[in-house]
Amino acid sequence: MASKIPINYLLSPIRYSAVNVPVLKCFAPALFCRYASGLSRKDYKARDQPKKKKKQRKEFKNQSLRDTVQYSLCDAMRYIRAFEVGRNPTSCKYDLAVRLRTAKNGPVVRNRVRLPHAVNTSLRICVICPPDSPSAAQARNAGATLVGEETIFDAVKEGRIEFDRCICHVDSAQKLNKAALGRILGPKGLMPSSKTGTITKDIAGTVKGLVGGSEYREKLGVIRCAIGQLGFTPEEMQRNVRAFVGEIKKDLALLSDRIGKDIHEVVLSSTNAPGFSLNGDFRSPTSPPTRDLGVL
Amino acid sequence: MNVVKRTKKLKALLDIRIGPGAAVLSNDVKRIHLNFAHKLNDGHLGARKVWRKYLPRLKYHNPAISMTVNRTLDQGGPATLTVFFAPPPRSSSATASPAPSSSTDPSAAPSGHAPADRIETIDMKHKHESEILSRLLELTRGITYEATPDELAELRDVDEEQKRSERDREAQARLNEIERQEKALLDLARGGVVAA
């Protein structure tokens, strides 16, 4: 066995072609103290020793913001508009990422917020309640597109589902269950249930929350949310960003002192643009007039 | 977000501010509309390059000008750049209206747009992007934006950084190659031992 190795060594073409290859350890004299498995004594030693455990970080790592270039809202929007030029304005959105100083474990921030200027305006809402009841009128006022009971059940059974969200009044819940729509609406996530808060007494409030409401939750220490349409003016964006960050601050304040989370950085981005760290100012001296920034 | 990534993003921002296409157009230009096909066969490449390379710079320096792109599926169709001129708006107060028009929708074609005094069209088919750009600047009396000394210094820094990383990449590739050869040799030796 030992006699084979030198032959191998001589025949190896790489040995001759590559001049700079350092002398390999396995071909050094140490070769003779090999074990049967092919490992050297040194390798064995390394294997037997327990692996050093890397110290786990308890918190998400945050880079210092001291040297970061930060932008005012108008400047960031100017760049983003340039990156988004010629894109479909209905499919591209501004989005906001809020970086938190937070531990890796523990509760996450999760809530829904109603922005002053809705991002997704085309949401169709269906309300199941008696069409002549006062709550039906409220629902229509709040922006529901479909209101009724039997007519909706029939339509759904025929396969015409012309809504994106479905809410049911408590009094109509029994009728809804009798209509046995669960097999049609259930897989689409449209079946009202008290667990998700879609069977409710306060129809008007729920519908208002759904129209222009958006959900957010913390993932890996960052909260991301679509914050505006591309055609928004800086003023509208400012109101939306303020409302959103204010809501997050409220959520953070509600957590117990022991958990202690706070906002590290706010970054504005969009579908096709890089992220711009915001410095909290509305505009800088070099920003263009705010009227111009809403132009598509 | 680490520091290296941030520097790379900054390079992108510098590219938007300076370079070909960074120009301030005359203030009676109201809208620029590009119309070309999805794919590049049959002379639509220059048009796409104008959109990808120059339009962001134009938009950065002229945020008030509406710039829209419409890409058709008709590969044999025309590739045109349309410039709409209108008298410069009086300084009206900014009104917040959340009504973004759909610019890439074919229904919002240039003809049905707001009143324009004058419409000029550039044929982009089978033309190089630089040719289209010079024609556009001539038409709109664009004044090329001069980079400030700060920006030029920044550009030099970025270039140096790129050269450095190129050198480092090569060095690392050499190292990896040596490591790979060593490993191959080792495997060969091991395999020989096991076979015996």
Q: Do A15 and B9 touch (CB under 8 A)?
A: no
- A8 contacts chain B (CB < 8 A): yes
- A30 contacts chain B (CB < 8 A): no
Q: Do B181 and A18 touch (CB under 8 A)?
A: yes
Q: Which of A22-31, A32-41, A179-188, B66-75 has the lowest mean pLDDT?
A: A22-31
Q: Tell me which fold the domain A73-119+214-294 belongs to.
A: Ribulose 1,5 Bisphosphate Carboxylase/Oxygenase (3.30.190)
Substitution target from A3, A69, A85 for chain B, most B beta carbons within 10 A: A85
A71 DSSP 8-state letter: B
Domain boundaries, chain B: 1-18+147-196, 19-88+103-144
In tens, the pLDDT along B2-53 reads 666 766 777 778 888 888 888 888 888 888 899 889 888 888 898 899 899 8
Of B59, B69, B5, B7, give the one whose Cα is nearest residue B37: B69
The two structure tokens encoding residue B181: 């050869």
| Range among A137-141, B120-124, B178-182 with highest mean pLDDT value | B178-182
Q: Do B189 and A235 touch (CB under 8 A)?
A: no
The Cα of B90 is separated from the nearest Cα of chain A by a number of Å equal to: 12
- A262-270 vs A93-101, strand pairing mode: antiparallel
pLDDT exceeds cutoff 90 at B172: yes
- A83 CB contacts (<8 Å, ≥6 apart)? A270, A272, A273, A274, B16, B56
In tens, the pLDDT along B79-120 reads 888 888 887 655 444 443 333 443 333 333 343 345 667 888
B53 DSSP 8-state letter: I
Q: Look at the block and give the residue holding tokens 């921002």.
A: B13
pLDDT exceeds cutoff 60 at A17: no
- A87 contacts chain B (CB < 8 A): yes
Residues of B in Cβ contact (< 8 Å) with A293 = 63
Of A233, A296, A76, give the one whose Cα is nearest residue B55: A296
**C-beta contacts of B51-54 below 8 A and 24+ residues apart:** B51/A85, B51/A86, B53/B20, B53/B21, B53/B129, B54/B20, B54/B21, B54/B129, B54/B133
SS (H, E, C) A199-237: EECCHHHHHHHHCCEEEEEEECCEEEEEEEECCCCHHHH
The Cα of A208 is separated from the nearest Cα of chain B by a number of Å equal to: 19
Q: Do A291 and B34 touch (CB under 8 A)?
A: no
- A262-270 vs B80-85, strand pairing mode: unpaired
* Chain region(s) in chain A for CATH 3.30.190.20: 73-119+214-294
Is the ipTM here above 0.90? no
CA distance linking residue A176 with residue A153, whole number of Å: 8
Q: Do B9 and A83 touch (CB under 8 A)?
A: no
Higher pLDDT: A196 or A232? It is A232
If you measure CA to CA, which chain B residue comes closest to A84? B56
CA distance linking residue A122 with residue B58, whole number of Å: 32
Q: Which of A15-29, A39-53, B77-91 has the lowest mean pLDDT?
A: A15-29
SS3 label, residue A65 = coil
The two structure tokens encoding residue B142: 């664009």
In this structure, is the dihedral angle defined by the CA atoms of residues B171, B175, B177 and B178, taken in order, positive or negative? positive
If you measure CA to CA, which chain B residue comes closest to A267? B1
Spelled out in words, what is the top-level CATH class assigned to the domain B19-88+103-144? alpha beta
Q: Do A85 and B67 touch (CB under 8 A)?
A: yes
- A254 contacts chain B (CB < 8 A): no
DSSP lists the bridge partners of residue A266 as A98
The Cα of B95 is separated from the nearest Cα of chain A by a number of Å equal to: 7
Q: Do B96 and A233 touch (CB under 8 A)?
A: yes
* Chain region(s) in chain A for CATH 3.40.50.790: 125-210
Q: Tell me which fold the domain A125-210 belongs to.
A: Rossmann fold (3.40.50)
SS3 label, residue B30 = strand
Substitution target from B185, B186, B190, B194 for chain A, most A beta carbons within 10 A: B185
CA A130-A136-A142 angle, 5° bins = 155
What is the Cα B84 distance to its own chain's centre? 22
Q: Are the CB atoms for A242 and A250 separated by under 8 Å?
A: no
Q: Do B65 and A231 touch (CB under 8 A)?
A: no
Percent of chain B surpassing pLDDT 70: 78
Higher pLDDT: A56 or A16? It is A56
If you measure CA to CA, which chain B residue comes closest to A80? B60
Label residue B70 exposed, middle or buried (CB < 10 Å: 0-12, 13-18, 19+).
Answer: middle
pLDDT exceeds cutoff 90 at A144: no
Q: Are the CB atoms for B18 and B149 separated by under 8 Å?
A: no
